[in-house]
Amino acid sequence: MERFDNSPETALAWFRGGVGAALATVVQTWGSAPRRVGSQLVIGGDGRIEGSVSGGCVEGAVIVEAQEAIEAGEHRLLEFGVSDEDAFAVGLACGGTIKVLVEPVGSALPEDLLEELVKARAARRPVAYEVNLQTGVRRLLHDAYPERMRMDRSGMEADGETFVAVHNPPLRLIVVGAVHIAQALVPMARIAGYDPVIVDPRETFASASRFPGERIEQDWPDEVVARLGLDRRTALVLLTHDPKIDDPALEAVLRSEVFYIGALGSSRTHARRVERMRAAGFSETEIGRIHGPVGLDIGAAGPAEIAVAILAEMTAVLRGARP
């Protein structure tokens, strides 16, 4: 799932609250479908809803089917054609077809399996939910489908019977240096689905007035990253130009699983950074993980354009389009 939402958590909470719940998931699409595979809608037994499987054009029918499925205690596989007229209403040029799997919690989707999924998500553990649409067999897999996990890609398997929903933890961006570029980068990253954290021990820079509503850590970066943990869904961007601040963070992440490490500075500045990392005992392979100067070379000028270049390079690395 590309954007981290709370559909499994909501479904479990509604079920345990006595309302009853079903999860509706887009399992296959053809043409210009309104929502991507893996999108989810939670339907309560009392008709309440959260999320979306179609942008609005088939939600009504899914809600009715879901409430019937809750009563029957069985999953349903629905197929809808989205007309050109309906597609235009939700912002598409033409229509398409979607298949939606409806799973009542507590019957088709066992409560303990959903609880296990929710716990894995809370612990930032990537997990794949696999369901055989013919037999109804469901399971969670923690070390399977590595390519799907890397690409955030849910979908049908080649047999046409097995659906795999990828549940990755939300993307996280650690920005070291509460500078002007960070002021542009953080909101852009949030729009792109990242959960940003701004780290800077300098209180003048790392202030709520400069970054309203954002998470700010005023400790030294190596201490912060140790608390946060470093996994393959995390990116780190160094923006201070100050080795006293940047280098401890860099040393803390070079041997971690973070998918992206970027460091601001000219080619000359980066060459000095490389020498310092060599002196600290890091290998050429480890040092080669640093993207410096940071960002794609798009001729960026000014903080906003540099932020665009950084986010573009992060995306290219995340999607496998750039090493």
Show the tokens assigned to 308.
Answer: 């665009």
The strand pairing partners of 174, in sequence order, are 197, 236
Q: How many CB atoms lie within 10 A of CB 217?
A: 20
Peptide bond between residue 8 and the one before it cis (omega within 30 degrees of 0): no
Query: pLDDT by residue (tens digit) across 43-89?
Result: 999 999 999 887 666 788 899 999 999 999 999 999 887 665 555 55
> CA 73 → CA 22, 37, 45, 116, distances in Å?
10, 24, 12, 20
pLDDT surpasses 50 at 1:
no
| Separation between Cα atoms, residue 198 and residue 200, nearest integer Å | 7
Q: How many CB atoms lie within 10 A of CB 91?
A: 8
Average pLDDT over residues 140-166: 87
Query: pLDDT by residue (tens digit) across 78-120?
Result: 988 766 555 555 444 455 678 999 999 999 999 999 999 999 9
Q: In the chain, which segments carry CATH 3.40.50.720?
A: 171-318
Average pLDDT over residues 226-252: 92
Per-position DSSP letters for 103-144, written without gaps between them: EEBTTTB-HHHHHHHHHHHHTT--EEEEEETTT--EEEESS-
Q: How many CB atoms lie within 10 A of CB 229?
A: 12
Which amino acid, 266? S
Average pLDDT over residues 310-320: 94
Which segments of the chain does DSSP mark as H helices, in order?
A: 7-16, 59-72, 84-89, 111-122, 146-151, 180-191, 221-228, 243-253, 267-279, 284-287, 303-318
Under CATH, what is the fold of the domain 171-318? Rossmann fold (3.40.50)
Q: Alpha-carbon dihedral of residues 134, 136, 140, 145, nearest 10 degrees? A: 0
The predicted structure's pLDDT at residue 93: 43
Q: What is the mean pLDDT of the chain?
A: 90
The predicted structure's pLDDT at residue 213: 94
**What predicted TM-score, i.e. pTM, was given to this entire model?**
0.76
